Structure formats: structure tokens, C-alpha cells
Amino acid sequence: MAATISHWLGNKTFTGTSGNTAPVTNPATGAITGRVALASAEDARTVIDSAAEAFPGWRDTSLAKRTTVLFKFRELLNDRKQELAAIITAEHGKVLSDALGEVSRGQEVVEFACGIAHLLKGGMTENASTNIDVASIRQPLGPVAVISPFNFPAMVPMWFFPIAIAAGNTVVLKPSEKDPTAAVWIAELWAEAGLPAGVFNVLQGDKTAVDELLINPTIKAISFVGSTPIARYVYQTGTAHGKRVQALGGAKNHAIVLPDADLNAAADAMVNAGYGSAGERCMAISVLVAVGDIADNLVAKIADRTKSLRIGDGTKNSDMGPLVTWQHRDKVVSYIDAGEADGATVVVDGRRVQADGSAGGFWLGPTLLDHVRTDMSVYTDEVFGPVLSVVRVDSYDEALELVNAGPYGNGTAIFTGDGGVARRFQNEVQVGMVGINVPIPVPTAYYSFGGWKHSLFGDIHAHGTDGVHFFTRGKVVTSRWLDRSHGGINLGFPQSG
Ligand code: NAD
């Protein structure tokens, strides 16, 4: 019988009362392996109430005690991350080494949050005015929500909750209903690390659960990651209900390869960034902009490398696993079909993949499309699969214009041997995260992650010092302690003196 994947509150599982569930599949076999609870609004309120109840106590817990729990969580995670990686592979489909990489990138944020005492330090000015001192402090917001997508069931939540918890907030995590088990495993780890009940909660569900988080006045801030239409909706609804919202959306990342680039290194990078995790990464490269007369040579090098990739069950010795659901696989295939019908050249055809895995798996091989035009749907839309489209242009200026004309601005990369052009690119490109001879420029935990334009709604990026600011509010205290002889009436506006 398929396992039930429940909510988590009060440091234990909570089945909820809705009675609604959704199937969870193993993408490598197509088998239903579990059924995830889908919260009713009432279930959502129960979980939110748990976070609200725990907030005053956690907020007043000393930084020393909070960081002890953080350090313990980090140690447990580090010791047992293989378990979490296996859960991710079983529900998402990505290969084990990639799942482990995801956990390690999330762990970096936990390690960053272990330094919260330093990160929360305010400023203090003595004698700003005569006998008056001014100090700035940062305080937690209250119960906050994290709503995450299917493609990084561990790392994306970890962009947010370690900092939120370390700063003294309580958290409700609403994971994707496609791969919900990682969240519950993480919750158990927090309990083992000594986190008090109610500080970290998991709410399983779909739009009903999200909508309650967006409108419920107890929730003070929302960190959302997902597709652009939902990110826009979450931002508009959450802010209309008075919440602080950062909503990270979809992407369409371009890599420009200039004629002076090392073409072998660039071809390796295109394969890694185009097909890693079956292209289901918001930082995947989905468009290669080949500049000048290198295109034939570069496309041939990529095609050679692509043909050697092993596609199969992520628990085996594969380079690339299946897509997350059959519906998503069929949608990606429809973009390849449309591109071909519109005149793109199918250089490598993933529709004819021979996967090393069960016949019921949601397989689609790496696909390389050449001569893609900007009016084709495979170019205009976020495909989110193992499809690399090649657009040919004549100059750097034309390539830059193409990147800047797109509605998204998550990641981009340039491959060149010319430092001057690279420097010009980092200055001129309208994208939040830029790689120079680096195909997937995901910032380390102490910098912040976030795109521009339709890739992020809100002003503050994820983790790093932005994360600390997002999960805290600034307060400035002006104080005077002196002998009673000082004073007197003065109705003028306060001035330094
Ligand atoms: P999604 O937008 O379908 O789902 C994201 C979350 O929103 C899930 O928790 C889901 O349950 C919820 N949701 C879905 N439909 C909803 C609705 N109508 N109302 C309210 N909530 C709803 O995204 P996904 O398919 O899970 O993830 C892939 C997308 O996420 C891609 O577009 C990818 O680019 C994006 N993504 C972006 C980043 C980034 O950092 N910018 C990172 C990872 C993924």
C-alpha cells in the first residue's frame, strides 16, 4: 500500500481532516509510491496556529541556544545526507549524485545561518546628540511561510528556513505536492536537533494551502519559488494582504559563446548546464547563443558529447534521470515537436531515448535543436526539460540584445577568452546572476540568489545578507540616561546638538 505523507506540527505528523490526497510517483518507474495529504483551509489554519503558538518562546530564546540547535541540525544533516538524497531521487528522479549536490548546497545556507549572532549585530552610536545614544537592532517577524517548487525539494526550502529560524521566526513550509517527503524528513531532523515544537512545521497541499498562507494574517512573510505566473499571483495576493513577499519565478537562461572561447570547455559546459537534472533547474542553460562562424563546430562538439550520456534510473550509474511526471514529459515533448514543425533542426532527438530503466519511467533524452528562431514556442517559453536550443547570431551586440530582450532575468553566462568583453557583459546584461566561463552561476550562501524582471517579484533576494534582512525588521532606539538636572520643555523638532 502506498505510504501516506502527512503534515508536520508540534514535532509530530498530523494527518489533517480534509481527506484529500494526491498520488506521488517514482518517475523512474511510474509507480505510485505514496499519497500526499492535501490540506483544507482548516488544516492550514491548524498548522499556522502551531507556528504562532511557538513564536513568542522561540523569539525570546537566546542566540546562544538557537545557534546550538542550528549547529546540531548541521551535524545531523551532514552525517545523514545520503538518506535525504535517496528520498529526492525516488520522488524527483534526478540522479543520486545530483541529489547529494542539492543537499550540500542547502547545507551551505545552514552553515551560513550558524553565524546568525554576527549577522544580527546592530550598530550603536554613543553621544549622537548631547547625552543621547542611538542603537539599531533587528527583530524577527513572526510566523513566516516558505512555498517551494518540485525541482529542488531540499535545497530551495533551505535557502530560506535556516535563516528564518536562526533569526527567531517560526516557519510553515509548503513543499511541492510532487515530491513532499523530503520536507517531513527535514522536520524530523529538526526535532532530533532539539528544535522546540512548532518552530518548523510542514503543510502539505496545493492551491488551497497556498491561498490560506497568503491571506492568513498570522503569516507575516512569504518566500515563494516556482513558475512565473504563480510567483506573480503569490506576490500580488500576499502583498495585498500586508505581507512581506519575495517570489522567485521561472527562467529562460541564455549562454553566449564568443568565437574566441575555448570551444571544448564551452561544449562541456553546455551539456552539463543544459541536461543536468534533465534540464529541470531554474539555472539550466536552455538557449545557446553561438556568435560568428563557430556554430557548426560547436554544435557538432555538443552533439558528440550528448550522445555519450547515460539516461536511466537515478539510483543506477546514470548521468541523467527521468522527468518528474509523465504530464511534464509530454509537455516538453510537445515543445520539441513544435520546434521541429516550425523549422528547427533536430540534431539530437531525445524523443527516441533508450533509457536504462523501467518501461513505465517518464523518460526523455537530451535534445539539441539548431537554427531555432525567436518566434518559436521552444524559444519563447520556459520548457524546463532537457532541451538545448541553438540560436545563431553574428556579433556580441546582437547576442546581448537577445538576452536583454527576454522577459526573464534569472541566470546567464558568457564564454570568452577576452576579459574586456566579459567585463562589458557583466555591466550591460539585464540579468541577476552572471557566469563568466561558468555555466550555472548559483551564488554561494553568503551572497544572495535572485533574478531580475519576471524571474523575481519583490526587492530582496534569497539567502546571504538579503535573507537576514528579509526575515527581520529593523528598529532604531534613541535613548537618554542622565541625571535629573537635565531637561526642560522644547517643542521644536529633535535636532542634533
Ligand atoms: P509551480 O509554480 O507549479 O509550483 C510552485 C509551488 O506553487 C508549489 O508548492 C505548488 O504547490 C504551488 N502552486 C502551484 N499552482 C498553484 C496555484 N495555482 N496557486 C497557488 N499555488 C500553486 O512550479 P513547479 O513546477 O513546482 O517548479 C518549477 C518552476 O519553478 C519553474 O518555472 C522554475 O523555473 C521555477 N523555479 C525557480 C527558481 C528560482 O530561483 N527563480 C528556483 C527553482 C524553480
Closest Cα to atom 24 of ligand 1: 149
Q: Tell me, what DSSP letter sits at residue 312? A: B
Catalytic position from the list 144, 167, 282, 369: 282
The reported pLDDT for the residue numbered 422 is 98
The reported pLDDT for the residue numbered 492 is 87
Calpha distance 102→154 (Å, rounded): 7
Asked if 77 and 28 count as a contact pair (C-beta separation under 8 A), the reply is no
Number of Cβ atoms within 10 Å of the Cβ of 381: 14
**Which strand ranges, in their side-by-side order, compose the sheet holding 472-480?**
124-129, 132-140, 472-480
Confidence of residue 252 (pLDDT cuts 50, 70, 90): very high
Please tell me if the CB atom of residue 381 comes closer than 6 angstroms to any atom of ligand 1.
no
Residue 369 pairs with which residues in a beta bridge? 346, 389
Asked if 445 and 112 count as a contact pair (C-beta separation under 8 A), the reply is yes
Indicate if 114 belongs to the active site: no
The reported pLDDT for the residue numbered 71 is 98
Asked if 67 and 114 count as a contact pair (C-beta separation under 8 A), the reply is yes
Residue 308 grid cell:
555519450
Closest Cα to atom 26 of ligand 1: 149
Please tell me if the CB atom of residue 251 comes closer than 6 angstroms to any atom of ligand 1.
yes
Between helices 263-275 and 295-307, what is the axis angle to 10°?
50
Atom of ligand 1 nearest to the CA of 455: 41
Residues with Cβ within 8 Å of residue 489, at least 6 apart in sequence: none
The reported pLDDT for the residue numbered 1 is 63
Atom of ligand 1 nearest to the CA of 178: 26
CATH number for the domain whose boundaries are 253-436: 3.40.309.10
The reported pLDDT for the residue numbered 496 is 79
Residue 373 grid cell:
528562431
Calpha distance 42→54 (Å, rounded): 19
Atom of ligand 1 nearest to the CA of 148: 9
CA 314 to ligand 1 centroid distance, Å: 23
The reported pLDDT for the residue numbered 488 is 76
CA 214 to ligand 1 centroid distance, Å: 15
- Mean model confidence pLDDT for the chain: 97
Query: Is the pLDDT assigned to residue 483 strictly greater than 80?
Result: no
Please tell me if the CB atom of residue 238 comes closer than 6 angstroms to any atom of ligand 1.
no
Residue 266 pairs with which residues in a beta bridge? none
Calpha distance 105→121 (Å, rounded): 25
Local structure of 371: helix, strand or coil: coil
Residue 456 grid cell:
523575481
Q: Regarding the domain delimited by 3-249+455-477, which CATH topology (the fold level of the hierarchy) does it fall under?
A: Aldehyde Dehydrogenase; Chain A, domain 1 (3.40.605)
DSSP characters over 241-280: TT-EEEEE----EEEEE-TTS-HHHHHHHHHHHHHGGGG-
Strands 285-291 and 387-393: parallel
- Taking the domains of the chain in order of start, what are their residue ranges? 3-249+455-477, 253-436
CA 32 to ligand 1 centroid distance, Å: 22
Cα torsion 155, 156, 157, 160 to 10°: value is 110
DSSP characters over 149-205: -SS-TTHHHHHHHHHHHHTT-EEEEE--TTS-HHHHHHHHHHHHHTPPTTSEEE---
Work out the percent of the chain whose per-residue pLDDT is above 70: 99
Please tell me if the CB atom of residue 462 comes closer than 6 angstroms to any atom of ligand 1.
no
Local structure of 30: helix, strand or coil: coil
The 10s digit of each residue's pLDDT in 120-164 is 999 999 999 998 999 999 999 999 999 999 999 999 999 999 999
Cα torsion 427, 433, 439, 444 to 10°: value is 120
Calpha distance 319→313 (Å, rounded): 9
Main-chain dihedrals φ then ψ at residue 431, nearest 5 degrees: -140, 145
Please tell me if the CB atom of residue 176 comes closer than 6 angstroms to any atom of ligand 1.
yes
Main-chain dihedrals φ then ψ at residue 208, nearest 5 degrees: -60, -45
Query: Is the pLDDT assigned to residue 485 strictly greater than 70?
Result: no
For residues 477-482, give the mean pLDDT.
91
Asked if 125 and 478 count as a contact pair (C-beta separation under 8 A), the reply is no
Give the pTM: 0.97
Residues with Cβ within 8 Å of residue 334, at least 6 apart in sequence: none
Query: Is the pLDDT assigned to residue 229 strictly greater than 80?
Result: yes
Please tell me if the CB atom of residue 212 comes closer than 6 angstroms to any atom of ligand 1.
no
Burial (CB < 10 A; 0-12, 13-18, 19+), residue 438, is middle
CA 383 to ligand 1 centroid distance, Å: 13
Residue whose C-alpha is closest to residue 20's, from 35, 5, 37? 37
For a mutational test of ligand 1's pocket, the pick from 177, 282, 453, i.e. the residue with the most ligand atoms closer than 8 A to its C-beta, is 282
Residue 15 grid cell:
494527518
For a mutational test of ligand 1's pocket, the pick from 150, 179, 233, i.e. the residue with the most ligand atoms closer than 8 A to its C-beta, is 150
The reported pLDDT for the residue numbered 495 is 84
Query: Is the pLDDT assigned to residue 487 strictly greater than 70?
Result: no
Q: Tell me, what DSSP letter sits at residue 325? A: -
For residues 279-289, give the mean pLDDT.
98
Work out the percent of the chain whose per-residue pLDDT is above 90: 96
For residues 78-84, give the mean pLDDT.
98
